[in-house]
Amino acid sequence: MELISDFENLRREMLENSREIIRLLKQRIKLAQKIGEIKKMNGGEIHDYNREREIIKLISGDRFTQSVLNILFEFSIHYESNSQLNLPGYVYKNINGNNYMEFNGETKNLLGMLKFILNPGSVVFSENKEYKNLISGPGIHIINHKIEDPDVYVDVNGNYGGDIIINGRQMLISKNFLENRENIYRVIIR
């Protein structure tokens, strides 16, 4: 009986922790938008690599923390950019009749962000060793044989046939992927 009680207490604590994380992330979005407005007024560059390296040195103690920080940086850049363009939080594009959510950043950071968007337990195939290294992480299974019937295609060369398209500094995630994400476990990166 005590084990069940501990389990439920841990679940409640995790839920509260998740709520606090979301509250802080929303606060961070507002800060990123204000920073974007200040940079716009002063003609500053949105991406400040020196500041990112400084923050990583101050906070990062391991690879997980650094990965999370890189994701936060890319989301911040996204919101700062949108602030400069007077756009809402997310940018939607219609390409060839498909709706895509847009994220901006360096390809390596976009692939790093993607591994956190994929479901834990996802199986990923790519013939590109660099992509494999960037997407690998806890819960992602990298395989060396082609997937016959993948759930999703990630196209890193900007061809607009994939469910997720990475083209230079832009990542487009299809509405179809977002709506069916809980069923997506077999991924090909090409």
The radius of gyration of the chain's CA atoms, rounded to the nearest angstrom, is 18
Q: Could you give the 3-state DSSP secondary structure of residue 99?
A: strand
Phi, psi dihedral angles at 64 (to 5 degrees): -60, -50
**For the whole model, what pTM was predicted?**
0.54
- Those residues whose C-beta lies under 8 Å from the C-beta of residue 98, and which sit 6 or more positions away, are 174, 175, 176
Query: Token match 């363009």: residue?
Result: 85
Phi, psi dihedral angles at 59 (to 5 degrees): -110, -40
How far is 81 from 74, CA to CA, in rounded Å? 10
Q: What is the mean pLDDT of the chain?
A: 81
What does the angle CA 60 – CA 106 – CA 48 come to, to the nearest 5 degrees? 60
Res 87: pLDDT: 43
153, 147 contact by CB (below 8 A): no
Report the percentage of the chain scoring pLDDT > 90: 16
Average pLDDT in the 39-67 region? 79
Q: Which domains does the chain have, with CATH numbers?
A: 2-84 (1.20.59.10), 91-189 (no CATH)
Q: What is the pLDDT of residues 141-152, one digit of tens each?
A: 899 888 989 999
Confidence bin at 89 (pLDDT 50/70/90): very low
